[in-house]
Structure 1
Amino acid sequence: MSNLDWIVLFGTLITIAAYGVYKTYGPKDLDSYLRGKNSMNWWTIGLSIMATQASAITFLSTPGQAYEDGMRFIQFYFGLPLAMIIISVSFIPIYYKLKVYTAYEFLENRFDLKTRTLAALLFITQRGLAAGITIYAPAIILSTLLGWNLTLTNIVIGAVVIIYTVSGGTEAVSITQKQQMAVMMGGMILAGIIVIQMLPISFQEALHVAGKMDKLNMVNFEFDLADRYNVWSGMTAAVFLFLSYFGTDQSQVQRYLSGQTLSQSRMGLIMNGFLKIPMQFVILFIGVMVFVFYQFFLPPVVFNKVQTDNLRQSEYAGEFEDLEKKYEANFESSKSSYLELLDAIDKKDEPRETQLQQQIKTLKSEQNEIRDEVKSLIVANDPVAETRDTDYVFMRFVMDNLPEGIIGLLFAVIFSAAMSSTASELNALGSTTTVDLYKRSIKKEGSDHHYLISSKLFTAFWGLGAILFATYASLFENLIQAVNLLGSLFYGTILGIFMVGFFIKWVKGRAVFIAALLSELLILFIHFRNGVGLFGFVWDIGFLWYNAIGCIAVMLIGMIIQKLNIK
């Protein structure tokens, strides 16, 4: 990167962190530290909620997913507005009425201490691991692209977040997230405009190319439990995930518990529900436009440049060079076919269109075979090398093609996203550990100042733990899927506990506690035997359905246990 890019990158990050510390500096009590003095207006809440969810993984992984799989991931969010309405009507009024610091305080009021503690521990387990991934995900990509040491990158991201989160608490998180969201969306929209301007064809022709290659496949009504993203999973299974994430996950609940009034919190949540889909559309569409760009400009055979550079210096360099030549020849044939396809579309020659479309897909299949051969060489050269490169697509495009200054801004987008989501997670982990575990079960009699210091120390502890986890983590198939999978393993059970608490009044604490334990075991069993089965019966269930299965299982098992009065 150029000097200008470094100035833009570090100037943006330091300014945001310093502003957060400055605006929230001064003496605090526990209430102001955890709920931000209930000073947040609706649009600050809405931006904070969006920034919490929009981690660096969103901006790294989503364009790459669209590059490979098209726009269909957007179906995952179709049920979000419905979930936001349900939470606004059912969840938030109860939290405000009880004046809770955390969502899990409600569970002791409704059930008992052990149920509250179980839900808090499930949250801490899931969110503690997720915080590590939230740091690690951008760190491994950024360290590779920038040539930084991975451990150092983890420490830089984690340390900056720890400083302003520990210093200012919930208020600092919310204030900085406004600036971070401005940087994130401003940078991405600018990148989208630039990539469209760089295309050697018109925007309408770009849409034709994307459409013919099934990259604009936003809606799929085919019902398939194994398919992660279709209308049915988005409007059913994903709704359960959103209800749990936004309604029971303290990293989100804490955002709207800082609202000035119940109405302000509701408006902030509804704002998120209706702006998130357009936001994801923009990010996915940028990925599709990057795909179109690389149909006319030679893409890297593998987007992780470090791995290909290592291959050039290895004993396999000759084989790699031969594969690169085949790849370039394939690309030139594919490019010519695209130009012919656009001519056929312009002349409305449908038989020719169909023929060329099939020809291009055949060439793409050959191109993927060449890529697989290169990846085999990478593994032969280094058996522990990471060959999945989807998460490198967007930032590789940025570094290779965008002008100075814009590159630094796009890196600032990734770092800002990592900081915003990590700050919310650490803030929530510190609050939950203090309020639901330490204050409730370990040291019950302490001063307000003692618990304030404890919350800061626990926040720092979880921040250091996230950095440590990130240092020893490893890449998943796709980073955004990794986060959704991790949440799906726990969110269904947590949501089931809350649903029983809200709507099934006759089920008591012991029944729901046992039901939650059994349901979590069921979800883990389904996941680890997925595709393998048991006793000859094999199942293949997309992980989004874990949320619905876990929630419904808690409710059904809880009702059965209560009816049978099992001791």
Structure 2
Amino acid sequence: MYLGGVTAWGAWLGRGARGGEEYFLGRRDLPWLVVLLSVVATETSTLTFLSIPGIAYGGSLAFLQIAAGYMLGRIAVAAWLLPAYHAGRLRTAYELLEARFGPETRRFTSAIFMVTRLLADSVRLFATAIPLTLVTGWPLITSVLVIGALTFIYTFIGGIRAVVWVDASQMVLYLAGGLIALVVLGQAAPDGWPDILARAAEAGKLTAIDTSLDFGRPYTLWAGLLGGAFLSMGSHGADQLIVQRLLACRDLAASRRALVGSGIAVFLQFFLFLFVGLGLWAWYDGAAFARSDEIFARFIVEALPAGVRGLLIACVFAAAMSTLSSSINALSSTTAYDFWGRTRAGAGNRADAAADERRILRVGKIAAAVWTVLLVAAAIGFIPLSEGNAAVEVALGIASLVYGGLLGGFALARFSRRATSGSARLGIAVGIASVTCVWVFARAAVAWPWFVLIGAAVTVAVGLLGGRRRAPDARY
């Protein structure tokens, strides 16, 4: 019932879009608070609801150090990238790179975004299918297909307006689910939460700050503040998934409020679900699970009364659908604007702007269907690879492989007069390749939160060294 209701409401919200900008940017008049909630729902969703409790279950509260770095990264994006996006009234993040380096660089970075989103969000879709499988007894493949199909319907019909408003409502729902879980877990302990926290303290699970200089440990103060900041700059400054929402705000000030405010909300959200993980650790007495993402889902299905169980299962689906719908819409927008639309513009077919917007809309909807099929297929492909991996770490690790290259490309576009189109693309490619090599050959020595910083540094260095002439002034 919940899935059907959300699908119908989302389709109704965005009905009647007549052009590409209305469909993908909501006429640029969306309220900043709704965009804030949508940003948080998009970037965390299922990963927060299912995976973050699993991290605290097997570890401690040290993940909060990453969230602190996220706040610093957002402030940097608000200061040096959002003004450029709004000044140029851009439709995708990668238009900024075209203004500085030409259309080849725009298409190159847009293609990188597409591959990254496909891989990372297929992991999110897989993680969401776990509780549906536990509830219904369906195979994981069937659960993936059902969630993908229903999310596609309202995303296809409603566009960004439907996506943002549904995201905002779903975020409120799954935060309520987390609070309910805290209450239930506290009531189950002999002396409530004081008992849980006392046991967790004895086991060292309340540690929130780790000042270790070991680069192989993902959750240290330095990896959190530096690595988390660069990861957030990449995800919120160079990824169309988030930038698209910020472009849909009414003005620069509204975009900044939405972006910086989302950092505070994400920190509090991580805090909530890490404590859920501590409660689950006490409930199961630290028992081992094949998948850490399964722990909270199994608790919901097996331990909660029917009414509460139904609400929390709805929360899981709310979390999943928010990210999946956002991904479909962002992928289709880059396909329509950065590839098809850019080609049409180059061919001189922009005399009739209204007709062109209608064409963009049609192409975007076709692209939405294609990307949904690819996301579902990739999620099914992840099933045999999922043993022993937390989906949040897998998804963030995949994104971190390329965010450094993208972020370095944007840094060259904004601040370098020496880099050229060719040197920027070479820098991005080498930056991504270098991080991939670290991930393959030195994963034990260098943890994933450092990937974006490494990739960005390599990209900027190669881009500057490869520049051989003074580049023209940037337009933005």
- 1:397 aligns with 299
- Report whether the alignment pairs 1:17 with 2:2: no
1:520, CA displacement in angstroms? 1.9
Match of 1:448 among 357, 372, 376: 357
Secondary structure of 1:473's counterpart equals helix
For structure 2, the residue ranges without an aligned partner over 5 or more in a row are 351-355, 471-476
Q: TM-score, normalised by structure 1?
A: 0.78
- 1:483 aligns with 395
- 1:540 aligns with 445
1:278-323 Cα shifts (integer Å, max 9, x gaps): 110000001101212333xxx7x654xxxxxxxxxxxxxxxxxxxx
The residue correspondences of 1:108-257 to structure 2 (distance < 5 A) are: 108-257=98-247
CA contact (8 A) 2:131 2:313 kept: no
Q: Which amino acid aligns with 2:426?
A: I
Secondary structure of 1:544's counterpart equals helix
Secondary structure of 1:513's counterpart equals helix
For the residues of structure 1 that align with 2:344 and 2:137, how far apart are their CA atoms?
A: 45
Secondary structure of 2:213's counterpart equals coil
- 2:463 aligns with 558
- 1:471 aligns with 380
1:203, CA displacement in angstroms? 2.7
For structure 1, the residue ranges without an aligned partner over 5 or more in a row are 1-9, 304-387, 532-538
- Report whether the alignment pairs 1:70 with 2:60: yes
- 2:415 aligns with 503
- Report whether the alignment pairs 1:91 with 2:3: no
- 1:427 aligns with 329
Match of 2:34 among 36, 39, 44: 44
1:140, CA displacement in angstroms? 3.6
Q: Which amino acid aligns with 2:319?
A: A
Higher-Rg member (1/2)? 1
CA contact (8 A) 2:120 2:396 kept: no
- Report whether the alignment pairs 1:293 with 2:293: no
For the residues of structure 1 that align with 2:268 and 2:101, how far apart are their CA atoms?
A: 39
For the residues of structure 2 that align with 1:140 and 1:554, how far apart are their CA atoms?
A: 38
CA contact (8 A) 2:54 2:295 kept: yes
Secondary structure of 1:228's counterpart equals coil
The residue correspondences of 1:266-277 to structure 2 (distance < 5 A) are: 266-277=256-267
CA contact (8 A) 2:13 2:162 kept: yes
1:145, CA displacement in angstroms? 4.7
CA contact (8 A) 1:141 1:391 kept: no
Q: Which amino acid aligns with 2:442?
A: N
For the residues of structure 1 that align with 2:164 and 2:308, how far apart are their CA atoms?
A: 26
For the residues of structure 1 that align with 2:431 and 2:248, how far apart are their CA atoms?
A: 32
For the residues of structure 2 that align with 1:468 and 1:202, how far apart are their CA atoms?
A: 44
For the residues of structure 2 that align with 1:203 and 1:170, how far apart are their CA atoms?
A: 41
CA contact (8 A) 2:134 2:301 kept: no
For the residues of structure 1 that align with 2:77 and 2:447, how far apart are their CA atoms?
A: 25
Q: Which amino acid aligns with 1:560?
A: L
CA contact (8 A) 1:78 1:231 kept: no
CA contact (8 A) 2:78 2:256 kept: yes
1:157-184 Cα shifts (integer Å, max 9, x gaps): 1111111111111111001111111111
Q: Which amino acid aligns with 1:422?
A: L
For the residues of structure 2 that align with 1:250 and 1:121, how far apart are their CA atoms?
A: 11
The residue correspondences of 1:253-264 to structure 2 (distance < 5 A) are: 253-264=243-254
For the residues of structure 2 that align with 1:266 and 1:519, how far apart are their CA atoms?
A: 28
For the residues of structure 1 that align with 2:48 and 2:429, how far apart are their CA atoms?
A: 32
For the residues of structure 2 that align with 1:258 and 1:40, how far apart are their CA atoms?
A: 6
CA contact (8 A) 1:55 1:417 kept: yes
1:563, CA displacement in angstroms? 5.0
CA contact (8 A) 1:16 1:180 kept: no
Secondary structure of 2:467's counterpart equals helix
Q: Which amino acid aligns with 2:379?
A: A
1:436, CA displacement in angstroms? 0.6
For the residues of structure 2 that align with 1:433 and 1:140, how far apart are their CA atoms?
A: 30
For the residues of structure 2 that align with 1:435 and 1:449, how far apart are their CA atoms?
A: 12
CA-based RMSD: 1.7
CA contact (8 A) 1:17 1:176 kept: no
For the residues of structure 2 that align with 1:230 and 1:554, how far apart are their CA atoms?
A: 25
1:383-425 Cα shifts (integer Å, max 9, x gaps): xxxxx23111112122222111111111111111110001111
Q: TM-score, normalised by structure 2?
A: 0.93
Sequence identity of aligned pairs in percent? Answer: 29
1:39-74 Cα shifts (integer Å, max 9, x gaps): 211110100100101221221111111111121112
For the residues of structure 2 that align with 1:141 and 1:553, how far apart are their CA atoms?
A: 41
1:113, CA displacement in angstroms? 1.4
Q: Which amino acid aligns with 1:194?
A: V
- 2:473 aligns with none
- Report whether the alignment pairs 1:526 with 2:438: yes
For the residues of structure 2 that align with 1:420 and 1:142, how far apart are their CA atoms?
A: 16
For the residues of structure 2 that align with 1:288 and 1:413, how far apart are their CA atoms?
A: 20
Match of 2:308 among 401, 406, 418: 406
1:273, CA displacement in angstroms? 1.1
1:17, CA displacement in angstroms? 2.2
1:458, CA displacement in angstroms? 0.3
CA contact (8 A) 1:39 1:259 kept: yes
CA contact (8 A) 1:79 1:239 kept: yes
For the residues of structure 2 that align with 1:557 and 1:39, how far apart are their CA atoms?
A: 39
For the residues of structure 2 that align with 1:131 and 1:479, how far apart are their CA atoms?
A: 10
Secondary structure of 1:78's counterpart equals helix
For the residues of structure 1 that align with 2:158 and 2:302, how far apart are their CA atoms?
A: 38
Secondary structure of 1:472's counterpart equals helix
For the residues of structure 2 that align with 1:390 and 1:23, how far apart are their CA atoms?
A: 36
CA contact (8 A) 2:420 2:469 kept: no
Comparing 96-105 with 37-46, greater Cα deviation is found at 37-46
